[in-house]
Amino acid sequence: MTSKTIFNKILKGEIPCDEVYSDEWCLAFRDIEPQAPIHILVIPRKGIESMLEAKEEDKELLGHLLWVVTKVAKQEGLTNWRTVINTGLEAGQTVFHLHIHILGGRNFHWPPG
């Protein structure tokens, strides 16, 4: 299922993206419909549909993704940011390839909508 997502096409270079970071485990690029002045997605190269499908064997990868969030946020000059992982339709997930949103450059409220 993840092999059919738009993010898989981005990973394969079939669809362009505004890349900000890349390594052997993941890719980070700007969201096409930004919800904040800075809105970046960090996605694993491995096709995990969502956090619901993450396995124990993915622990190192998941930690790496969070480390990349901090690296990219700092690269963007952020000292405050919101990190979001939507899991499942009712939580607002629309692309079923695991991704972490980095949102920054404006104030955020709590609780989220």
Active site (catalytic) residues: 99
Of the pair 33, 57, the CB lying nearest ligand 5GP is at 33
What's the count of helices (H) and strands (E) in the chain, helices before strands? 2, 5
Which of 79, 94, 107, 110 binds ligand 5GP (CB under 6 A)? It is 94
Q: Does 20 bind ligand 5GP (CB under 6 A)?
A: no
Structure tokens at 74: 């700092």
Contact 47, 3 (CB under 8 A): yes
Q: Give the chain's radius of gyration (CA, Å).
A: 13
Q: Which residues bind ligand 5GP (CB under 6 A)?
A: 6, 15, 17, 29-33, 41, 86, 92-95
